[in-house]
Homo-oligomer: A and B are copies of this chain.
């Protein structure tokens, strides 16, 4: 925790060739998908690229809202922490996601890079002007906010009513669905975040997370070539565990 303090003022600015937006990996997933090719330069004109190193802080809860960010590569964690050190990660941002528009004038949560990441940043004032000019942009941001709200609701269900094993199963499936959008080809899922991050997202301790990984492994549902690489062997049985159609016996710690 707090390992990245002091980085904030050294956000690296990356120069990008003009017109590069058109060939961006997330051109059709991110907020810029709302803009036609011909209007893209309007967004590009107010954009500054930003790069973050692993664990570098992008913003802290309490910071004034000045910019909107769109993640183009890497992964961010969004979290709130309490004065006594407890932390809740409300979600992980993947390429194409955005952050920075909130209902208040200060941020209610912090954002840090999980791994090296690149973002487009836009002055919030200018984005608001563009939203006025391009209703499709406002529409897209609204839609993306609704998607985020739905994810938050799913997370509430997980946190409030699922057992640890169910939480982890659900987490792996969700992350897999978001990260690899082409249907599962037996490929492995990269777990960029640490066990601490997973624990702080699922409302568990790292020990419990680790034990649950072991149980999923024992039951033959996943493989763990190393701690940060998961191979999902039985997506269907994982989904059963994750909440839709529970077999309570499976969940009892039957000798771990």
Binding site for B on A (CB under 8 A): 80, 82-84, 86-88, 90, 101-104, 108-109, 131-132, 135, 138-139, 141-143, 145-150, 152-157, 159-161, 200-203, 243-246, 248
Q: Which residues of B contact A156 (CB under 8 A)?
A: 88, 90, 152, 155-156, 159
When C-beta atoms are compared, the residue in chain B nearest to A163 turns out to be: B86
Q: Which residue of the partner chain, among B147, B157, B244, contacts A88 with CB atoms under 8 Å? A: B157
Q: Give the docked Cα–Cα distance between A109 and B161 (Å).
A: 15
Indicate if the CB atoms of A138 and B145 lie closer than 8 Å.
no
For this chain, the copies found in one complex come to 2
Q: Which residue of the partner chain, among B108, B161, B244, contacts A83 with CB atoms under 8 Å? A: B244
Q: Give the docked Cα–Cα distance between A146 and B155 (Å).
A: 17
Of A143, A147, A159, A200, most B-chain CB atoms within 10 Å: A159
Q: Give the docked Cα–Cα distance between A147 and B135 (Å).
A: 21
Interchain residue pairs with CB less than 8 A apart (13): A87-B161, A88-B156, A88-B157, A102-B146, A108-B154, A138-B138, A145-B146, A149-B149, A152-B152, A152-B153, A152-B155, A152-B156, A156-B156
What distance in Å separates the Cβ of A156 from its nearest Cβ neighbour in chain B? 5
A-B contacts besides A82-B157, A109-B153, A149-B149, 10 pairs, CB < 8 Å: A80-B157, A82-B243, A87-B161, A88-B160, A103-B143, A104-B150, A138-B138, A142-B142, A149-B152, A160-B203
Indicate if the CB atoms of B103 and A161 lie closer than 8 Å.
no
Indicate if the CB atoms of B135 and A145 lie closer than 8 Å.
no
Indicate if the CB atoms of B88 and A161 lie closer than 8 Å.
yes
When C-beta atoms are compared, the residue in chain B nearest to A247 turns out to be: B84
Q: Which residue of the partner chain, among B132, B142, B154, contacts A145 with CB atoms under 8 Å? A: B142
Indicate if the CB atoms of B149 and A148 lie closer than 8 Å.
yes
Q: Give the docked Cα–Cα distance between A142 and B149 (Å).
A: 11
Q: Which residues of B contact A83 (CB under 8 A)?
A: 244-246
Q: Which residues of B contact A87 (CB under 8 A)?
A: 161
